[in-house]
A and B are shown apart, each in its own frame.
Chain A
Amino acid sequence: MVSIMKNSKYLLPNSIIATLTLILLAVCITAGVPARLEARVYLELDSPNLRRIPIAVAPLQPLCGSQEDEKSALIGRKILIDDLEFSTFFELLDDTSSYLEEPKSCNLSQGSFDFRNWSLIGAELLIKTGYSLSGEKLVVEFRLYDTLAGKMIVGKRYRGRTKNIRLLFHKFANQVVESITGLPGEFTSKIAFCGRLGDEPAQELYSCDYDGHERRQITRNKSINISPAWSQDANKLVYTSYRRNNPDLYLIDFMKGKESLLSKRPGINAAAAWSADDRHLALMQRYENHSEISIIKAGSGETLRRLTQSSANQASPCWSPDNNEIAFVSDRSGTPQIYITTTQGGRWRRLTTKESYNANPDWPAHNDKIVFTSKIDGIFQICTIKPDGTNHHQLTFSRTNCEVPGWSPNGRHIIFTKKVNGIQQLMVMDEKGRNLKQLTFDKVDKKNPSWSANR
């Protein structure tokens, strides 16, 4: 392994230090009974008639003894509301003019307000937030209340800096989703992607928050960089770069702040995918003048085994959540189709049979639906299918190609790319293909998004 870059270069957006600081300083507020013990299930995620829970987000108040800062209060509330809206679990009652309560008290605790003011306007859940700002130092205290039961579900206090305000509010939004559904939220996750401006020869890697904010440039090597993939723990990123005149695989370790060359077999070393335990990588490599899937050790880059043996081309491996199987693309039937094999290789089965071009499978940790692209009537659309080949659903009905789909960390959303006004943009939708949202709007063409776990 060769260390190529200096430490500071690869500390990510909202650097981990800030994240750790926030985690360490997040204090469980001990008013009332811990919510976990109650074990009330607010949302049955498997229910076919999943309803959105009405929630009110009270205007942010300065904590007792603190000065008002209208700008931070508005920004913070907007982040919280956007996160909850995105989750698709809540019906936001965010029109503050309909709120009955006069938001005057600096006290957020139970007993300082009347739950009926909130249940009367239909809110079953209520978030109360207080903040104090001194210079760059920001303290925010959150409480999530069940207005019908009249009790607190979760309370947290975070200390950070104003520049990390987004991260701070995203962290509590994660808490809200987890308390209500049992699933982790998606709001402190990152999306890595390749970006190229116009006809520039260079294609660099970037990252941004799940909502498109906080964009950072990851590579600056002026070469062509492709297929970024986050490790499951979101601390590492592998990608392929042509900077040594061969598509080699590199690994960035954000915790150590360093980069290493992991695989440099002549020909492609690309489309790497992490195993569920982060110990191995499956990737495309050249064998006998065509592309096969092989498995290497994530630590050393040492080849463990060649997974596929075929005279055809193989591409785009991804691991099953139980680490026992790998889905991949092969044109062994004459057209690109998705196949599944065991991680030991050997036996394989064909997954897709509809349409003549199916590619880019992604297998999520939290549900059993593989997402992929399928060329339907000449246009690539996003589809899902169960690993046994049943429940084939088309999610997009677009007039332009939808490509490279990937699951969000909790398996509730799908990211993909689509051309909008001639520019390839990042798009996101929920697992059923609803709530479509464009994440990016600038002139940079974006490709290959990879969605990390929460950081």
Chain B
Amino acid sequence: MKAAKVILALVLAASLMFTFTSCTCKPGDIEEEKVTQPEAMSTPSAISSTSEIVKPTAVTAGVIKVGNRIVDIGDKIYPIYFDFDKSALRSDSRETLSELAQWMKNNPSVDIRIDGNCDERGSNEYNLALGETRAASAKKYLVYLGISPDRLETMSYGEEKPSCSDATENCWSKNRRDDFTITGK
């Protein structure tokens, strides 16, 4: 009996530990949801945030499998990220934009708005300008890939729409981004 109790305790402790570590050491799942929260607030969609947890690496929107259901996540396309104080596209961003361009070609009725964002460091007015050029970089590349500029609108939020607010490089790197929103179908 005593042994059984000890085992039960151990199992409980282990399961607790698992829960705990899965929260702290793997921030990917939970944090990922937080990152896109402000976006979800402007266009509230419970489905889109669920699907992000299920498939955090998804790059473009459209139709996605959530559990056994096929859901149209509609207006959510994953952001691309930038280096500090830079508006040049990174190679991973180019890949993302290539997929996006292909998806836009397959969905010719869709228009997109690109929102440039910055981390909190530096002058917020200068960051407004930097957000403009970050959005413009993505637009320029999508046009280069054959998308009509008429389908691409750009806007800068500067540092005013952070996706997370900690003063850490991890957080800053998530804020230096272009968000993509579908504006017309």
Is there a chain B Cβ closer than 8 Å to A227's Cβ? yes
B41 at the interface (CB under 8 A from A): yes
B154 within 8 Å of A (CB atoms): yes
Assess the A247–B129 pair: CB atoms within 8 A. Answer: no
Total interface residues on A, CB under 8 Å, equals 41
Chain B contacts for A226, CB-based, 8 A? 124, 128, 158, 160
Query: What 1/0 flags go to B150-167 for Cβ under 8 Å of A?
Result: 000111111011000101
In the assembled complex, the CB of B60 is this many whole angstroms from the nearest CB of chain A, namely: 22
Given contacts A290-B133, A313-B133, A268 and B156 within 8 Å (CB-CB)? yes
Given A267-B155, A267-B156: A401 touches B125 (CB 8 Å cut-off): no
CB distance from A358 to the nearest CB of B (A): 9
Which 6 A-B pairs rank lowest in CB-CB distance, beginning with the nearest? A359-B123, A291-B129, A313-B129, A289-B136, A271-B125, A315-B126
Cα–Cα, bound, A118→B88 (Å)? 69
Partner of B161, one of A224, A246, A286: A224
Q: Does A180 contact B (CB under 8 A)?
A: no
Q: How far is the CA of A203 from the CA of B140 in the complex (A)?
A: 31
| Option from A224, A286, A316 in Cβ contact (under 8 Å) with B157 | A224
Please report which residues of chain B, range 125-141, place their CB below 8 angstroms from some CB of chain A when the two chains form the complex. 125-126, 128-130, 132-133, 136, 139-140
CB nearest neighbor in A for B126: A315
- Could you tell me the distance in whole angstroms from the C-beta of B29 to the nearest C-beta in chain A? 19
Residues of chain B touching chain A, judged by Cβ–Cβ distance below 8 Å, are 37-38, 41-42, 121-126, 128-130, 132-133, 136, 139-140, 153-158, 160-161, 165, 167
Q: In the complex, what residues of B have CB within 8 A of residue A201's CB?
A: 38, 41-42, 161
Is A403 close to B, CB under 8 A? Answer: yes
Cα A360 to Cα B123 in complex, Å, equals 7
Task: Give chain A residues whose Cβ lies under 8 Å from the Cβ of B123.
Answer: 315-316, 329, 336, 359-360, 373, 403-404
Known A268-B156, A289-B154: A329·B125 in contact at CB below 8 Å: yes
Tell me, yes or no, whether A447 is within 8 Å of chain B by CB. Answer: yes
Which A residues touch B155, using CB under 8 A? 245-247, 267
- Chain B residues with CB under 8 A of A266: 153
Within the complex, what minimum Cβ distance (angstroms) separates A272 from chain B? 10
For the complex formed, measure the closest distance between the CB of B115 and the CB atoms of chain A, giving whole angstroms: 10
The residue in chain B whose Cβ has the minimal distance to the Cβ of A447 is: B124
Name 14 interchain pairs, CB-CB below 8 A, sorted by A. Answer: A226-B128, A242-B160, A271-B125, A284-B125, A290-B132, A290-B133, A291-B129, A313-B129, A315-B129, A331-B129, A359-B122, A403-B124, A422-B167, A447-B124
- Complex partner residue of B126 from A203, A224, A245, A329, CB under 8 angstroms: A329
- Residue A63 lies at the interface, judged by CB distance under 8 Å to chain B: no
In the bound assembly, the distance between CA atoms of A331 and B160 in angstroms comes to: 21
- Interfacial chain B residues near A286, Cβ < 8 Å: 132
Q: Please give the distance in Å from A351's CB to the nearest CB on chain B.
A: 15
